[in-house]
Amino acid sequence: MRYFAIVKYDGSKFYGFQRQNDKRSVQNELEKSLSDIFGENILIKGAGRTDRGVHAKGQCFHFDTDTQISLNDIKKYINNKYSDLKIKSIKIVDDSIHSRFSVKSKHYSYKISFNKKDYDNEYVCFSKKLDIKKMQKASKLFLGVHNFQNFVSGTRDNYECIIYKIKFHHFGNKLKIDFYGKSFYRYMVRNLVGALMDVGKGKANNSTIIRLLESEKTDKTLSTAPAKGLTLEKINY
């Protein structure tokens, strides 16, 4: 049978989601605890990897086993054990549902603070004043289907994906940018935010972004936003 769970975690306490031999990761902790619960070796498959320092409110994973244990007992065991890692929900699903391959869309948010007191805050990125109107106009260039090779870290066979919507929420000394898309590749959201912040600082303009979207792989010219401002909010299936 297949168990499917939604989990949230404080990314500042982990070296990312992916399993690692000598570092504390979300996958390591979940597999270790689930193996203790079920009395067998449990391996989970996540909807995607979040990097070190990136938070999640709606990360998803599944695992298969022939052993049936109370869903409430599983949730209670994990949630009592960790203060920085919590299961929000868990259920048994059809084997055709896959945490990664069944994804229809993802929602990420990035939080920026203009308050100097938040310089060391692990949940927002501190920045000096930004021209938010220019950032909003530039963000429209990312909408739709594009080849994002100049906004992705590492090499892939395919860099094309679709962004459905980017929304800005400016309140007081805080700015939140929401990204909605089919899939996001390694460092992609952080690179998109970094590019928009460069526009907001006057270090780049719309022409710069258009050139990077339309050109072949180039040397990186725009910023990568810190991991700590990024949160995986929700995954839709």
Q: Which amino acid is at 172?
A: G
Q: What is the rounded average pLDDT of the residues 15-33?
A: 96
Q: Does the pLDDT of residue 215 top 90, yes or no?
A: no
Domain boundary among 37, 63, 93: 93
Longest pairwise C-alpha distance within the chain: 58
Among 73, 93, 113, the domain boundary falls at: 93
Do both 50 and 24 map to the same domain? yes
Question: 139 lies in a domain?
Answer: yes
Q: Which of 22, 36, 51, 84 is catalytic?
A: 51
Q: Do 89 and 114 fall into the same domain?
A: no
How many folded domains does the chain comprise?
2
Q: Residue 211 falls within a domain, yes or no? A: yes
The reply to whether 100 falls in a domain is: no
Residue range 183-192: average pLDDT? 94
CA-to-CA separations, 59 to 111, 167, 193, 205, 236, in angstroms, rounded: 18, 21, 21, 33, 10
Structural domain for 31, as ranges: 2-93
43 to 145, 147, 182, 185, 236: CA distances (angstroms): 34, 33, 25, 23, 22
Cβ-count burial 23-57 (b if 16+ within 10 Å, e if not): eebbbbbbbebbeeebeeebebebbbbbbbbbbbb
Can you tell me the distance from the alpha carbon of 151 to that of 49, in angstroms, rounded to the nearest whole number? 17
Instruction: Please tell me whether residues 143 and 180 are part of one structural domain.
Output: yes
Residue 217 has pLDDT above 80, yes or no: no
> Do 144 and 232 have their domain in common?
yes
What are the residues whose beta carbons fall under 8 Å from the beta carbon of 219, sequence distance 6 or more? none
Q: Among the listed ranges 64-78, 88-102, 103-117, 153-167, which one has the minimum average pLDDT value?
A: 153-167
**Among this protein's residues, is 219 annotated catalytic?**
no
- Amino acid identity of 166? I
Res. 202: pLDDT tops 70? yes
Contact 208, 223 (CB under 8 A): no
86 forms bridges with which residues in the sheet?
8
Residues 130 and 177 in one domain: yes
